[in-house]
Each structure stands twice: as structure tokens, then as C-alpha cells.
A = this chain, B = another copy of it.
Amino acid sequence: METKILKKRSATLKEVAERAGVSLMTVSRVLNNRDLVKQDTITKVEAAVEALNYRPNILARSLAGGNSLVIGIVYHNPSSGYLSEILVGAMTACRELGHQLVLEDLSDGGGDIDPEVVTHRLQKMGLDGLLLTPPLSANSVLVQKLHDSNIPTILVGRQKTQYDFSTVSFNDQSAAFAMTQYLIELGHKDIGFIVGSIEQPFSGRRKDGFLQAMHHHNIYVNDAFIKQGDYTFKSGMEQGGELLDLENPPTAIFASNDDMAAGVIAAAHSRNLDIPNSVSIVGFDDTELSSAIWPALTTVRQPISNIAKNSIKLLHDNILTDIPKAASSTIIDTVEIIRRESAAAIK
């Protein structure tokens, strides 16, 4: 069976204009700023657009418009959940705004990245702007080099701006607050907390949210209930185990990410504890792991796609808009607690 598929040229502005009996420009106006056009004409044009199933050619539009950006997304060993959401969000925003995306994968087998080399490479690529994702956005040497090289950059996942770089981040603190409050509402008072790696700025934010919620509800925070992990399953298993082995163990444990929460669950399993009836366990991030394990994990999800979308729009505004602006810090705080089976009301 031989087939030869041919790209069927789709309708152009000109064709729509001819069919509607107006000029090319009028159609363009209807599509962009319709307020300048008479209602009658709009109707005619829209009929023609509909009839021809016209779709604007983004390439031509961006080229003629002269303000299409080439934006790089720079990442380093992200989790696939994070990466896919970033990509989906960034692509969606770029499509809307007529920009192009270029991926720059700095992932490696464990070695550190060289800010000098990376910056040089990025510079040679002729990008108009960058999205720097965590953990890179926390690398101040890299950020400084990038600044020196004059590439407009958005620091994703950070809250403090640096130089004239804006940031877009998640409100980890209020998310942790909400999750803690949820546990408190379930009747828990003895709540253990496992902190994540201290290098990550958001680790502290999550801990703060937990503490604030406890204080807000006038619940005493037992120091022995706060453990230091490093975001790995193993550290969750170890630290969770220590909490569970306490003479008066907590009735609920809040781990700073899902991997550690899964570790705590494993620790509870190995002690033959019933989850959630003997101990409630909750995580953070809503990774796939959380619904893969048993019992499925109650956790809190970040709107990563949204963060990416916002970052792209911010870059767009910063570069293309005339109004002068200061470096801004956008904090997205759509908190969504995903209730699954690992947490329950205290008995």
C-alpha cells in the first residue's frame, strides 16, 4: 500500500479577505483589535473565517510582529513530574504569546556544573531570556554570571530576587500551614515533622508553615518530634522510624516530601503499625509515588504548570513591555490538599 500524504495548505488571511469582500487588513483587525471594526464587517469576516476554517499562521504572525522571543528552559536533574509540568505550562504560554522554547538540559551523572561554562554556552545560543529552575536558581554563582552576561532571567522556585532578576515560586509556607491545619482538624496534636535538605530554600519555608500552624492553634511543639531528613526515601524511613520508636510517639507524621513520607510508611509497616489508624502520615508534592504506594498518600500539590506559565508571561512583560519595572517576586499560593488514605481522624 503506497501512500503519499501531502501537507494541505490551510487558508490564509488573503483568502479570508477575498471571501469576506474586505481588505486583508480588516481581517487582521477583526482577529486582533476588533474594537476598531464595524460590527457588520466583523460578522462578515467571522463567517468567512468559519467557512474556511482559517487558523492564523503563528510563524508569520510572530515574524511580522517582530517580538517573538527565544526562551531557554534550563534544568538540572529535575524529577519527571516537575519537568513535565514545567514543559506543559511553558509550552502553553509560549504558544499563546508567540515565543519559542529551547531546552537546555544540564543534568549529569553527579558532578557539579560549572557556572562559567554554562553561562558561556547559554550566551552563545542567542537566547532572549531564560527560565532557571531549581536547584539551579539557588546557585548564586550561576545567577551572578548570568546577570553579568546580560540575559534576562526568571528564577523559578526562589522568593528573593537577585540583581534585577524576578522570581516566581510556590507558597510552600502556606501549603505546609494548610496541611498541618488539616491534621490538627483531624484531631492530631502530637505531630512529627521531617525537615528536608537545608540547602533548598523551600525546606525552611515548609518547616515554618508547620510551626506557624502549630502555634496558631496553641499546640506545643515537642522538639523531639522534629527530625532532619534529606528528601530521600531512606532518610524518611530512618527518621520516621525514630519517631515511631519514641516512648510516646506522634499520632501523625508530616514529611516534607513524598519520598520521605513513603519511607515513613515503610517504617510503620515494618513495625506492624496500621496506617492511618495507628499513625497518620502525610507528604508534600503529590508525586506519582504518592498514589503508587499503599496506603495511598495524603499530600499537597504545587501548581507547577502555573508557575511556569507565570514565569513565561513575566519574562514576556519584562522584555517586551515599555513600562519600566522593578524585579518582582511572584508567589503562587493555590494550595491543594490531596486527601488519600494515609491520614485519618484520631480515635
Contacts and interface: CB of A to CB of B under 8 A. Distances in A.
Nearest to A315: B5
A234 B68 CA distance: 49
B105 A88 contact: yes
Interface string A78-94: 01110111011001100
A80 B318 contact: no
A220 interface: no
A320 B118 CA distance: 36
B59 A68 contact: yes
Interface stretch (A25-33, A38-46, A203-211, A288-296): A288-296
Interface in A255-274: 259, 262-263, 266, 269-270
Contact of A288 (B102, B126, B263, B289): B289
Interface stretch (A182-190, A193-201, A323-331): A323-331
Contacts of A324: 2-4
Interface in A98-143: 100-103, 105, 124-126, 128
Interface string A267-301: 00110000000000000000111001110000000
Contacts of A1: 164, 326-327
A347 interface: no
A6 interface: yes
Contacts of A23: none
Contacts of A60: 63
A148 interface: no
B288 A79 contact: yes
A164 B3 CA distance: 7
Interface in A15-73: 53, 55, 57-60, 62-63, 67-70
B320 A7 contact: yes
Nearest to A265: B266
A3 B55 contact: no
29 contacts: A3-B318, A3-B326, A3-B327, A4-B323, A5-B152, A5-B164, A5-B318, A7-B319, A10-B126, A53-B126, A55-B125, A58-B70, A59-B62, A60-B63, A63-B63, A79-B80, A80-B84, A81-B84, A83-B88, A84-B84, A91-B91, A233-B292, A233-B294, A237-B294, A262-B293, A266-B293, A269-B269, A289-B289, A289-B292
Given A5-B152, A59-B100, 15 more contacts: A1-B327, A4-B322, A5-B164, A55-B125, A55-B126, A58-B100, A59-B68, A81-B84, A84-B87, A87-B91, A233-B294, A262-B293, A266-B269, A287-B288, A288-B288
